[in-house]
Amino acid sequence: YGETLGMDLSVVTVETPHLKNLTLAVEHAHLAIADFVAAPYAAARAVLAEDERSLGAAVVDMGGATTSFAVFHDGHLVHADMIPLGGHHITNDIARGLSTTIAHAERMKTLWGSALASQIDEREMIAVPLLGERGVDTVQQVPKSMLTGIIRPRLEEIFEMLRDKLETSDASHLAGRRLVITGGASQLNGVREIASQWLDRQVRLGVPAQVQGMPETARTPGFAVCAGLLNYALKPDVRLALPKAKAHQVHQDQQGYVRRMGRWIAESF
């Protein structure tokens, strides 16, 4: 006969005000929330291969305001955490460093952003509109190397903080040497190399698996969490299944979707 009954349990917590704000935003669109799913878990549903979940891997979702990560082992989520830095911080660094608008800083990051320097960066010039200036002298020419010099330190800070979070967690050894990065900021040139250097792991870029009905243009790392949420809605985790009463309520809410959509259009326009 056994004397002790125990279990390994992972609990993901979130600050109540953040959850309430998210709930209000959804309810104002006249929609009902069926479930809450942690962003790194949703991203993992979209980008991790089955063998990676089983053998052990970490997935990093590089979002706008935060960078979150999850560790999987033996097919299960065993750890999740986040740091309060993401792609928006890189954009703000560019805007401050080059004295330009947030919108143009985002455009520069998307079109020319890189974490890796090259020999031609000093000769390749980028036109930067100056913040608040008017007239003929509203644009300055800066070398691409200056943009790289702004982006790389922030990326290194992000991966240094991720490394510290992983090393201090009890699940670090369960992730093995496999790391999958995804999210909008992961599409910057050189992110994979910087991640491998700071985290000392085999790194690949995670692209969402195809979900029926999802357009091909959405199969990019920036849509990983969205694709994972669709995957979760189609195939919910049985261990996280909704109680029957709540599931019935969700079904009733779905029947009134057209009615709520009509009310939203009337109130918005």
What's the rounded Cα separation, in Å, for the pair 104 and 243? 48
Q: What tens digit of pLDDT does each residue of 85-138 get?
A: 999 999 999 999 999 999 999 999 999 999 998 888 888 999 998 888 776 568
Report yes or no on 20 lying in a domain. no
The CATH number given to whatever domain includes residue 192 is: 3.30.420.40
Phi, psi of 205 (to 5 degrees): -90, 125
What's the rounded Cα separation, in Å, for the pair 55 and 176? 8
- pLDDT attached to residue 234: 83
| pLDDT over 70 (residue 266) | no
| pLDDT over 60 (residue 246) | no
- pLDDT attached to residue 176: 86
Distances (CA, A) of 174 to 27, 82, 89, 178, 196: 39, 18, 30, 10, 18
Q: What tens digit of pLDDT does each residue of 59-68 get?
A: 999 999 999 9
Report yes or no on 17 lying in a domain. no
Report yes or no on 144 lying in a domain. yes
Report yes or no on 248 lying in a domain. no
Q: What percentage of the chain exceeds 90 in pLDDT?
A: 60
Q: State the pLDDT confidence band at 267, using cuts at 50, 70 and 90.
A: low
Q: What tens digit of pLDDT does each residue of 156-202 get?
A: 999 999 999 999 988 888 888 999 999 999 999 999 999 999 999 99
Q: State the pLDDT confidence band at 233, using cuts at 50, 70 and 90.
A: confident
Q: Are 67 and 183 in contact (CB under 8 A)?
A: yes
Q: State the pLDDT confidence band at 254, using cuts at 50, 70 and 90.
A: very low
Report yes or no on 267 lying in a domain. no
Q: State the pLDDT confidence band at 144, using cuts at 50, 70 and 90.
A: very high
* pTM summary value: 0.81
Report yes or no on 264 lying in a domain. no
- Which residue type is seen at 91? T
What's the rounded Cα separation, in Å, for the pair 151 and 234? 38
Report yes or no on 134 lying in a domain. yes
Q: Are 59 and 48 in contact (CB under 8 A)?
A: yes
Report yes or no on 128 lying in a domain. yes
Half-sphere CA count of 48, side-chain side, radius 13 A: 32
Mean pLDDT of the 57-85 span: 94
Total domains, the chain:
1
Enclosing domain of residue 205: 38-234
Mean of pLDDT over the chain: 86
| pLDDT over 90 (residue 238) | no
| pLDDT over 60 (residue 241) | no
